[in-house]
Structure 1
């Protein structure tokens, strides 16, 4: 196309948009100096950043080696505890672990028996979602190897934990941490516990294990409940504390704390009267702890207070 055919605005585009040259040599020189300063600053900072990254990686590896942090930083189920690639112990629980119900566990320790002889072994548990802690095995002095074994390859325990989800089981010897595993407990059944007859009374709970004479529960109203327990003297010795958790909530509240269990009546081995109240209507799980260990659980329904409505 000839120049005469170009429109008037085409010639105007050839002119600079500014009245003066904005990107001057002085400006270019200033920018170059600033870039050099920033480069030197980054070079000086780089060793510190590398050192911090290396320290963080080391801490991560140490935690991984000690079995405290699963890959990815997220809690994961783990039935084996390793140190430097070698198994220190492993746990074999009953299948289908469920919260609020006693279950059996076998702990297989790899170290020679001399490492355990005369020491007290205990197991504590921590609920990873809430931080709730519970005793699983009270300190027991290890005097003999497992029956039929040279070492502690078959240390057995039976206990219950109150909430569903992941729990960290921490083994200690003479109060010093020995290692841990992480196991998952499924949510318990929230069906209302059945009633059964013992002596001349109807009780709510688990026949032959635990129950109480149940006059019903009304939200916010206290009432008397006579607890009944069946079992060996060792597991029934200690103070009774009753916790409770509402369906759909992990928050546990204390509803009763009393003295040691008394003598048996109504066919039970031990009994204890209690005064209890649950604050809200709905389905609740009562969790009786004897000497700090969860005995079992009972599910009840709490009705609205009609006088308040």
Structure 2
């Protein structure tokens, strides 16, 4: 370069921000055209699109991951601009920044395998979550939780203290701005009042392949029936015990050589996987509540 020449700085690439749009509405012609046209008009490039048209009840479900140039506030401006389209088609909808970590609170009792699995997956970034606290009715897991530098709250529960314990839990949910409560083998039945307060934002793991073998010692019940598969079910919590909308299930083949303890060991892996899948799909906005069922676009 000669003395009179100056170096021209390279242009900085424009910032790109990603969004996730989810919606469901009555099925009518023109929904996809309206949504894709809106995104094109606002400079959004579609990275992934999933949809489902329920022919039985004429309801349409859609999830779109898209990118656009702009600052982080672009998501908010898109949200405001999309509102008239949502109103036109009577949509239930959300628009969130893609990859945003959801604030979750884990509840656990004595069995720690699901807790450990969630702590590990969150630590390595496999789950898009920030674990803001762990609540337990036993003190056993304080050490491992605090090793992860996460607050641990011991909230004992008895018949006399149940109402007060649930009020303490609700206080923690408000204090930490919790978006999702995860029952990782929390062996207490939540009151109807609490389940109503947590409608659509609490996930439970059931240690069997629902609707079979509810209640105590499900794997021993399974052994007595000579089952050939065992599994686990992750579902939203509602007022009906273990009857909430199912999000994810896992199953593993077993045979006559498995005793009750072998079935318990086999079941632990299915519990961890079903629960982590349910948490991830919920936090990625892939799960749509549809009555007592779910639609999962993945």
Q: Shared fold (TM-score greater than 0.5)?
A: no
Shorter chain as denominator, the TM-score bin is under 0.3
Q: Give me the TM-score of the superposition, normalised by structure 1.
A: 0.24
Question: Which protein has the bigger strand share?
Answer: 1
Largest Rg, 1 or 2: 1
Q: Give me the TM-score of the superposition, normalised by structure 2.
A: 0.25
- Structure of greater relative contact order (alpha carbons < 8 Å, 6+ residues apart): 2
